[in-house]
Structure 1
Amino acid sequence: MIATRFSRPLRLTLGAGAIALLTGCASKGEPLYTPKPLADIDATSTLDTRWDTGIGDGLGRARYPLTPARDGDTLFAADARGLVVALDADSGKREWETRLDSPVSSGLSAVAGHVYLGSKNGDVIALNQDDGSEQWRARASSEVLAAPQPNRDLLIVQSTDGQVTALDRQTGDTRWSYESNPPALTLRGTGTPQTIEPVTFAGFANGRLVTLDNRTGDPLWQQQVAIPQGRTEVDRLVDLTGQPLLTPDGRLYVTSYNGRLMALEATRGQLLWERELSSRHTPLMVGDYLFVVTDDSRVLALDAQSGNEVWQNDDLTGRWLTAPAFADGRLVVGDFEGYLHLLDARKGELVGRTRVDRSGISVTPVTEGSTIHVLANDGTLDTLDVSP
């Protein structure tokens, strides 16, 4: 994670590492948290590689968040130089590849015959899932790090200058845009919007969650999730860099850096419960459990209705874990040394581990049933099966 300073019209990036916070005591890029050494575990689950391949140059020096996407039996992945590939998820057979003339900087979204992604130059590109051909290209207001989010009619794009743009999913034409007020210093990264048919929920670097009317882009309600505090700009960082999690029964869970985890009623933004908790990651909900990885890499399971803690695992503290994924009763997280860890979702115990690649893992694993797809920082793409 990198801090970014905004000044209009100039935007200055401070630092180049993807797993270091910029602080007064970490000006050379040292991790803010001391990684805990790995201890032996009583492994009751195994991780077996089914296939692996290389995706170009991987995430690049800037460690762009190029999270792959799976749609049905096809896995889509990209590297920072603009290589996009489609692979058979079961065998790893390469179905097609295309090289874009724009460097890719965002995660991928794949749905309804299209693959959507954003570029360092502010391009938003739609590719045909069948052959990788470009269907349309549009422009966002600045670099796009968050995976574009589709609903039935729109593609919602959040760019690093704090603007949210709604594009027509079929043509790429702009429908509306919404501008936020970014603070002087922000984390390197933006929140990923959550969109449904009527509204879009978007979190911003000023700690505010805004609900936008998808017909016009007008705000319907706002909630201050994190309040800036402290003397320095670094102390006052309160970015909402995770994606709001929306449940079918209308609850909204929102994390924030240096702030709170909040459960809200999605229609009006009414507070249901809150916890003081700092997290840059999207939470995960399975059944009645809400799983959160904190900024110091503690893994928590909370009761989704009350916010009460069910269990907490501190074994991986400081290891710069990814956001959690779920595979057949286990939580899946990657770390900065390239290890993939499995935790029992009910008890929180570590039950499996393997090393994918020494370059490290910084994007969330993609799972389907007991299958895990993991993209390492250098572009190694590994597909593993969990057993028993």
Structure 2
Amino acid sequence: MRTIRLLGALLAAGLVSGCSLFSSSNTAKPAELEQITPAIAGRVVWTARVDNVKFPLAIAARGEQFVVAGGDGVVQSLRASDGQLNWRADVGQKLSAAVGSDGRFAAVVTRDNELVLIDSGQVLWRKTLPTPTFAAPLVAGERVFVLTVDRQVHAFDAQDGRKLWVLRRPGEPLTLAQPGVIGAYKDTLIVGQGARLTGVDPLQGSVRWEASIGNARGTNEVERLADLVGPMQRSGEILCARSFQSALGCVNAERGSLIWSRNIGGKLGVGGDAKQLFAADASDRLSAWNIANGDVQWTAEQFLNRQLTAPLSLGQTVVVGDYEGYVHFVSQETGKTQLRLSTDGSPVAATPVALGQTILVATRNGGLFAMRPE
């Protein structure tokens, strides 16, 4: 029964996520690019490449390096300041999940469900997982944590690959073939299981708390999909996430209690800072909410149906990419566009990531573009 349920999940959720990697309807006409007078300066400072991106891409940013992986299984560490190669490793298989890194170790998952750990450019070990994975592994505290498509959580020792524990929870009939939520808060592992944000003891694999952000709605199992989707936003003790096509919400990680939740449709994760949460809805309306109480601060409609990425908050700016490879810099105070930079014309494939003032953007064609607003 578990195998049948998983196959159903992969088929149904694959159909859903296949059209949700870009977050608008195929029939809706994208908004034309608005005419803007740049309010800030910015430029591309270096470029690099990975293989064409045909899997859920994420970029790891640690210390002074960006760690990226292409679909062909090549993993690279690039110096944030100038894009110079620190190390390169080829795991020899195509990937299903992006790279996770703590600065030393880097972990990826292949299409054959193999978890591969790299230590400073050398493959250290490989372990086979029981089910597919779409979320980048979390590497923290000399451990590797993996969230599989059926929302099991597996923990491995980073040094030798020993399985430490596995957390299995009763699940929904279908799960979403899209990267879920996995992260950390102090000494607590944070994972998304269905519409619940769950705090887990990383040493034992036991549940410390749960808080539901969304509620399943609809007349069939596909419509009722409400899994939490990454990326998650952490601001101090507040954790915020999106429940797929259902809601946005924030949780107090110290108490494990829901602070607020709003019924807002959407398919991609969130970004933010200590004061505001940013996200696009299913039609790519970009909005800002007060992170303390969920009140709307502004809504911007200049990007309707432009298939936005999840947002990055940097300084006084919100950064999003779109389906034509444009990167938009938006004022955090007003939602007005401040700057637009272009890449290679293919869709921006992952949430932009920042180290200091350097922002790295990856495109579907494998282009890596490092940008600096000024």
TM-score after normalising by structure 2? 0.89
Residues 187-266 of structure 1: matches in 2 within 5 Å?
Answer: 187-196=176-185, 198-204=187-193, 206-248=194-236, 250-266=237-253
In structure 2, C-alpha distance between the alignment counterparts of 1:68 and 1:264, rounded to whole Å: 25
Out of 177, 187, 204, which is 2:166 matched to?
A: 177
Specify the code of the residue in structure 2 equivalent to 1:378. Answer: N
How far residue 283 of structure 1 moved from its aligned partner, in angstroms, is 2.4
Give aligned-pair identity as a percent.
26
Residue of structure 2 equivalent to 1:13:
11
In structure 2, C-alpha distance between the alignment counterparts of 1:207 and 1:362, rounded to whole Å: 24
Residue of structure 1 equivalent to 2:105:
114
In structure 2, C-alpha distance between the alignment counterparts of 1:350 and 1:221, rounded to whole Å: 40
TM-aligned CA distance change 1:355 to 1:17, over 3 Å? farther
How far residue 349 of structure 1 moved from its aligned partner, in angstroms, is 0.8
Structure 1 position 79 matched with structure 2 position 67: no
Higher relative contact order (CA 8 A, sep 6+): 2
Structure 1 position 371 matched with structure 2 position 358: yes
Residue of structure 1 equivalent to 2:80:
89
Out of 355, 379, 387, which is 2:342 matched to?
A: 355
How far residue 30 of structure 1 moved from its aligned partner, in angstroms, is 5.8
1:152-180 Cα shifts (integer Å, max 9, x gaps): 24321101122111112322211111123
In structure 1, C-alpha distance between the alignment counterparts of 2:340 and 2:270, rounded to whole Å: 22
In structure 2, C-alpha distance between the alignment counterparts of 1:105 and 1:356, rounded to whole Å: 24
Residue of structure 2 equivalent to 1:59:
53
Q: Residues 309 and 349 of structure 2 are in contact (CA less than 8 Å); yes or no, is this contact kept in structure 1?
A: yes
Q: Residues 183 and 189 of structure 2 are in contact (CA less than 8 Å); yes or no, is this contact kept in structure 1?
A: yes
TM-aligned CA distance change 1:43 to 1:183, over 3 Å? same
Partner SS, residue 38 of structure 1: coil
Specify the code of the residue in structure 2 equivalent to 1:307. Answer: G
1:197-241 Cα shifts (integer Å, max 9, x gaps): 53222113x323322222322223323322222212332121211
In structure 2, C-alpha distance between the alignment counterparts of 1:262 and 1:326, rounded to whole Å: 17
* Total equivalences in the alignment: 369
Q: Residues 262 and 275 of structure 1 are in contact (CA less than 8 Å); yes or no, is this contact kept in structure 2?
A: yes
Out of 41, 44, 50, which is 1:49 matched to?
A: 44
How far residue 133 of structure 1 moved from its aligned partner, in angstroms, is 0.6
In structure 2, C-alpha distance between the alignment counterparts of 1:326 and 1:65, rounded to whole Å: 21
In structure 1, C-alpha distance between the alignment counterparts of 2:6 and 2:354, rounded to whole Å: 40
Q: Residues 19 and 31 of structure 1 are in contact (CA less than 8 Å); yes or no, is this contact kept in structure 2?
A: no
Specify the code of the residue in structure 1 equivalent to 2:225. Answer: L
Q: Residues 328 and 369 of structure 1 are in contact (CA less than 8 Å); yes or no, is this contact kept in structure 2?
A: no
In structure 1, C-alpha distance between the alignment counterparts of 2:173 and 2:29, rounded to whole Å: 28
Residue of structure 2 equivalent to 1:286:
273
How far residue 334 of structure 1 moved from its aligned partner, in angstroms, is 0.5
TM-aligned CA distance change 1:88 to 1:276, over 3 Å? same
Out of 126, 137, 143, which is 1:148 matched to?
A: 137
Out of 104, 115, 118, which is 1:124 matched to?
A: 115
1:249-273 Cα shifts (integer Å, max 9, x gaps): x222232112222222223432322
In structure 2, C-alpha distance between the alignment counterparts of 1:371 and 1:9, rounded to whole Å: 40
In structure 2, C-alpha distance between the alignment counterparts of 1:381 and 1:121, rounded to whole Å: 26
The worse-fitting range, judged by mean Cα deviation, of 368-377 and 334-343 is 368-377
Residue of structure 2 equivalent to 1:346:
333
In structure 1, C-alpha distance between the alignment counterparts of 2:25 and 2:266, rounded to whole Å: 19
Residue of structure 1 equivalent to 2:262:
275
Specify the code of the residue in structure 2 equivalent to 1:7. Answer: I
How far residue 276 of structure 1 moved from its aligned partner, in angstroms, is 1.4
Q: Residues 216 and 226 of structure 2 are in contact (CA less than 8 Å); yes or no, is this contact kept in structure 1?
A: yes
Task: Return 5+ residue gaps in structure 1 as ranges.
Answer: 23-28
Q: Residues 212 and 258 of structure 2 are in contact (CA less than 8 Å); yes or no, is this contact kept in structure 1?
A: no
Task: Return 5+ residue gaps in structure 2 as ranges.
Answer: none
Specify the code of the residue in structure 2 equivalent to 1:232. Answer: N
Residue of structure 1 equivalent to 2:294:
307
In structure 2, C-alpha distance between the alignment counterparts of 1:169 and 1:192, rounded to whole Å: 21
Specify the code of the residue in structure 2 equivalent to 1:343. Answer: V
How far residue 6 of structure 1 moved from its aligned partner, in angstroms, is 7.5
How far residue 33 of structure 1 moved from its aligned partner, in angstroms, is 4.6
Residue of structure 2 equivalent to 1:25:
none
Specify the code of the residue in structure 2 equivalent to 1:108. Answer: V
TM-aligned CA distance change 1:290 to 1:83, over 3 Å? same
Specify the code of the residue in structure 2 equivalent to 1:13. Answer: L
